[in-house]
Structure 1
């Protein structure tokens, strides 16, 4: 059985969340988020790229 972390979780550990929040504040879009936060949207897009 798998005992380590998944690749996706390992990549997420290296993402600086405070810097990402600063970028979201600085470059805010015109449209508000409905249900996903900006962070959740980033994680969904990363997962889609990893799984092709």
Structure 2
């Protein structure tokens, strides 16, 4: 849901000026990076990421 709102904000950024679009894009990129790091840390702590993400791939 949060990523959907972020996408809407990027779409809104198209109507803004160029500098606002760049700032918004950088901010949202950092937000998604932090989200990915948090998910990675949670999965690692639970032991579900220990196989290197290749579970079920052979």
Structure 1-normalised TM-score? Answer: 0.36
Greater relative CO, 1 or 2 (CA 8 Å, sep 6+): 1
Of Structure 1 and Structure 2, the greater helix share is in 2
Structure 2-normalised TM-score? Answer: 0.33
